[in-house]
A and B are shown apart, each in its own frame.
Chain A
Amino acid sequence: MKNIKLLAILFLSTLVFTSCEDDHDDHDHGSDEELITTVVYTLTDGTNAVVIEWEDLDGDTGNAPTITSGTLSANTSYTGSIQLLNRTESPAEDITLEVNAEADEHEFFYTSTVSGLNITKTDTDGNGNPLGVTTSLSTGNSGTGSLTVVLKHEPTKPNNGTSTDAGGSTDIEVTFNISIQ
């Protein structure tokens, strides 16, 4: 019976001990969270830059995203570069660096409904397969439509160039409105 008393005391003291330590620091959340809030696609024709942007600062729930559309010139060649940011951090964290570091496990896919608009990936991963952080884009005649950017994590590489064939899991899937003038 003596043992039981001892065990009971031990038990109760643990109880008291743990219940005392429940007050957390109120600023302990969200540190170094891997959140992608923003996709920025920058297109330059040598002189002018067009920046299209998809941003959702408050995550999966909360307010609707803000989407900046872009206007491109007809029959022009652009150099494109995509950037993934976490703008809840200050300064904003550049997630593109991590994608580059694990290039063999990632691939961007670009599709557009605008006729005559062509996008080619200009960079490769360590195995010589396309990555798609940098691109070249050429426009045809004027028109409007959408441009969709998909980032796949762990896709099948190489693939036939479509995100469907690549499989993997989708980390980014955003759509912009594009008009060609």
Chain B
Amino acid sequence: MRKLFIFCALCMAVHHANAQDCNYSFNGKITDFHDNSLIVDASIHIMNLNKFTTSNVAGEFAFSNLCEGTLTLEIKHVACETQRFVINLTKDTYKEISLEHHLEELKEVVVKTNTKTAVTSIEKSLKKEVITNFTDKSLGDALNTLSGVSSLNTGNSIVKPMIHGLHSSRLLIINNSVRMFDQEWGDEHAPNIDINASDRIDVIKGANSLRYGSDAIGGLILIRPKKYAIKDSLFGSTTTSINSNGNGGNVTSEIIKTFNSGYYTKLQANYKKFGDFKAPDYYLINTGLENINTSFRAGFNSYQKGFDAFYSFVNNKIGILRSSHIGNVNDLVEAINNKEPRIVEDFSYDINFPRQNIFHHLAKVEAFKRFKNFGKLNLQLDAQLNRRKEFDLRRGNLRDRPVIDLQLFTASIQPNLEINKFDNLKMNTGFLVRYQNNDAIVNTGANTLIPDYNKYEVGTYAIVALDMNETSTFSAGIRYDYSKIKARKWYVESDWTALNYDVLFPEFDTGIIDGLELLTRPEFSFNNFSTNLGYSKRFGEDYSFLFNYGLAQRMPNPSELFSGGLHHSAARIEIGFLTINKETANKFILSLEKKNENIGFSISPYYKQIDGFIQLIPTGIKTTIRGAFPVWEYHQVQARIFGVDVDINKKLASHFKYKGSLSVLQGDDLTNENPLIHMPSANFSNSIMYSNNDFHQLKIGVHQKTVLQQNRFPDYNFTTLNPVTQQQVFVDISATPPSYTLFNFSSSAVFNPFKKGSMEVGFTIDNLFNVSYRENLNRLRYFADDLGRNYNLKIKINY
């Protein structure tokens, strides 16, 4: 469009070239688009006449003795986006020209120390190089390398990130600015994210998360795409990774085309396949996996306006350790007492039962426009569809039918207005409208754990960041959310009365009875308020001090409200309650940081008080036709979590660097004066890295990570009668596995075998000494050891 315009303008210029009248002047002033401040030393170039001038201290410029006709102007300033436009000179002309003063926002993200989400936020980031190292692992594995972040695992392929001991619905995962809704409530539901599609991942431990939701009790994980430079370019990369453990690997490719006009497109695809993984002493049968992911992105980026459309598709097929499928509590006792899993066979690529098949579609369209001397308006529409099928060992014609089949659809509209007209004050405000539908697909031939529901949400927020002086910034925000959930669930009638729901919630009873079951329509609404305060102060050369306070509220998730049934892989009956109310957290976090290549550190202590903390704990035993099962119920308690995260980096010699981190945490159930269940234990890591930029950017590193035994755990052990042996059996479900230390070796180098582009080769060894260990936060720790040694070779070709 613009080219056409320039072409027309040039034609006109030629047409008018004969009409000579050369006494006109063209004067003007150059100002900043944001705040109207004057721009000094901008160069103004009349391209078709090859005349130059610069703006003076008043931002003004002048050309005289110009002929009537067309002027093609180019205005440049070091910190601004170059502007070109055409004017038709027919008289003396004065023109005010606004330049955009924030060129860096358009460029590729320059790796600087200070590229945080917000100045006052306390966060840790993973950059693309690190993400590439985890190309064939999961989001949770990559985040696990950060201090204060751990993971709740089901085997080694289902990895849920955990920040400061909190996970699932208490973490917000924002993928390409879309909040992920993928049935994140379940312990064995890992986020459906292809780590290869991201460029940078930020973990925000503090409170700067109001824009995304009021319920980030644990924190926020931001998965960010790359910003592309505005230039004509075609580039891409292909990474191939192969592993000895699991005899599998991953191929991921991306290709990006950018245009001078500001348009860009990106296509990325990823295929991953593994067979049975291996613990040091045996194969972990049925732990293979197969993933196909693809994403497409297109958009237009200029300073004043732009849009971004993103679509991603993730298909995960994940096998779960065969030996973890157990019948009842006596099978669990057998598993705990046996040192080896009950099924040990030879390696295979087969993925049988149990397994998960998950599809996740995510689509987003986002557009923005900047307004002169005001700010930026952004509108985002997004939609997600998550389909989860879980297959278990069954009989007959039910064999190939999932036990759980849920489809979750979420759509939202989110406008945001950023006001940046003031030099020292930035404001963000906006609202959210969201609709969610859960469809428990019938035909599973099993009771649905999560019922059908519709959920409606509206929310609004305002966040202010104020630069108090050169070195200190203060931020504050408030957010309000209203949500309403309308469910439809069949209750066993005797359960309904036993739980006293007939008295508490008679309005939910539809009176429709089918056999022993009663149809109910529970309906709840919640008002959630949240606030946060942030303060940051820089002092000395490279020190900074940060403080965050946050109040967050979370409504109970569907599993906390509606669960009621047998959970096979855990050999327990899980019961949620309609009486469960929202959770309210007060969080305080401090951080003292020194950012320096030679010696740097960050120390972040934190304290969280959570009222109505919802936790799943064992409360009794129930006899079923399959035998005895422990009953786990969702209970609300007063909880407290506090701890400290420490990171240190030091330059040892010219090519040697040291990095270390330590996380210590304590979680308490204050109501029952008990430690909280499933809290990460103290852990620390040390790495020494050699790097030589002059020799193929060679990097060699040795890393050690130690996880200490968790000695603070609630004792939920119980005894049960084994009817076969007629003996009382002690069921030790609480004891935690011993401490372990793992060593990893890593190396990489860059070569240039082609005319254009480069080749990076990496070789790593995980669990160097093939240590047998079990991790307390792995749900399958009762059944088998964790992974043994793995040799990994990665080749990344950039073109």
Residues of A at under 8 Å CB distance from B?
A: 1, 3-4, 7-8, 11-12, 14-15, 18-19, 22, 24, 26-34, 36-37, 39, 54, 56-65, 88, 95, 98-99, 101-102, 109, 111, 113, 146, 148, 150, 152-154, 162-164, 167-175
A164 CA to B381 CA, complexed, in Å: 56
Over the window 465-495 of chain B, the binary record of Cβ atoms lying under 8 Å from chain A Cβ atoms (1 yes, 0 no) is 0000000000000000000000010101111
Instruction: Taking A150-B724, A167-B343 as given, write out 18 further A-B residue pairs in contact, using a Cβ cutoff of 8 Å, ordered by the A residue number.
Output: A1-B305, A11-B363, A11-B383, A15-B383, A29-B442, A30-B514, A34-B398, A56-B624, A58-B492, A61-B492, A61-B564, A88-B516, A102-B395, A168-B327, A170-B326, A170-B330, A173-B626, A173-B724
Given contacts A15-B411, A170-B330, A154 and B393 within 8 Å (CB-CB): yes
Output the least CB separation between A133 and chain B (Å). Answer: 14
Output the least CB separation between B577 and chain A (Å). Answer: 12
**Counting CB contacts under 8 A, is B176 at the interface?**
no
- With a cutoff of 8 Å between Cβ atoms, the chain B residues found around residue A30 in the complex are 447, 490, 514-515, 517
- With a cutoff of 8 Å between Cβ atoms, the chain B residues found around residue A57 in the complex are 516
- With a cutoff of 8 Å between Cβ atoms, the chain B residues found around residue A95 in the complex are 395
Given contacts A18-B437, A170-B326, A173-B626, A24 and B488 within 8 Å (CB-CB): yes
**Counting CB contacts under 8 A, is B507 at the interface?**
no
Q: A98 near B726 (CB under 8 angstroms)? A: no
**Counting CB contacts under 8 A, is B62 at the interface?**
no
Given contacts A59-B492, A88-B516, A173 and B445 within 8 Å (CB-CB): no
- With a cutoff of 8 Å between Cβ atoms, the chain B residues found around residue A88 in the complex are 515-516
**Counting CB contacts under 8 A, is B753 at the interface?**
no
Q: A148 near B724 (CB under 8 angstroms)? A: yes
Q: A171 near B365 (CB under 8 angstroms)? A: no
A8 CA to B628 CA, complexed, in Å: 54
- A selection of 19 A-B contacts at a CB cut-off of 8 Å is A3-B309, A7-B309, A11-B411, A15-B411, A29-B490, A30-B514, A31-B442, A34-B398, A56-B625, A61-B492, A111-B724, A146-B726, A150-B627, A153-B395, A168-B342, A169-B327, A169-B331, A170-B626, A174-B625
**Counting CB contacts under 8 A, is B573 at the interface?**
yes
Q: A60 near B624 (CB under 8 angstroms)? A: yes
A88 CA to B514 CA, complexed, in Å: 10
**Counting CB contacts under 8 A, is B443 at the interface?**
yes
**Counting CB contacts under 8 A, is B446 at the interface?**
yes
- With a cutoff of 8 Å between Cβ atoms, the chain B residues found around residue A63 in the complex are 494
Q: A26 near B328 (CB under 8 angstroms)? A: no
**Counting CB contacts under 8 A, is B540 at the interface?**
no
- With a cutoff of 8 Å between Cβ atoms, the chain B residues found around residue A1 in the complex are 305, 307, 367
A3 CA to B365 CA, complexed, in Å: 10
Residues of B at under 8 Å CB distance from A?
A: 305, 307, 309, 325-328, 330-331, 334, 342-343, 363, 365, 367, 381, 383, 393-396, 398, 409, 411, 435, 437, 442-443, 445-448, 452, 454, 488, 490, 492-495, 498, 510, 512, 514-517, 519, 564-566, 573, 575, 622-629, 723-726
Which 7 residue pairs spanning A and B have beta carbons closest together?
A: A170-B327, A173-B627, A169-B327, A98-B396, A148-B723, A62-B492, A175-B723
Q: Across the two chains, which residue of chain B brings its CB closest to A101? A: B396
Given contacts A24-B452, A170-B328, A36 and B625 within 8 Å (CB-CB): yes
Chain B CB within 10 Å, residue with most, of A61, A64, A113, A171 = A61
Q: A14 near B442 (CB under 8 angstroms)? A: no
Q: Across the two chains, which residue of chain A brings its CB closest to B366? A: A4
Q: Across the two chains, which residue of chain A brings its CB closest to B499? A: A61
- With a cutoff of 8 Å between Cβ atoms, the chain A residues found around residue B454 in the complex are 19, 22
Output the least CB separation between A37 and chain B (Å). Answer: 7
Q: A98 near B365 (CB under 8 angstroms)? A: no
Output the least CB separation between A146 and chain B (Å). Answer: 7
Q: B331 near A60 (CB under 8 angstroms)? A: no
A3 CA to B300 CA, complexed, in Å: 11
A173 CA to B628 CA, complexed, in Å: 8
Q: B334 near A164 (CB under 8 angstroms)? A: yes
Output the least CB separation between B261 and chain A (Å). Answer: 14
In-complex Cβ contact of A169 among B393, B442, B445 (8 A): B393
- With a cutoff of 8 Å between Cβ atoms, the chain B residues found around residue A173 in the complex are 327-328, 330, 625-628, 723-724
- With a cutoff of 8 Å between Cβ atoms, the chain A residues found around residue B624 in the complex are 56, 59-60, 65
A3 CA to B366 CA, complexed, in Å: 11
- With a cutoff of 8 Å between Cβ atoms, the chain B residues found around residue A32 in the complex are 398, 445
A71 CA to B661 CA, complexed, in Å: 69
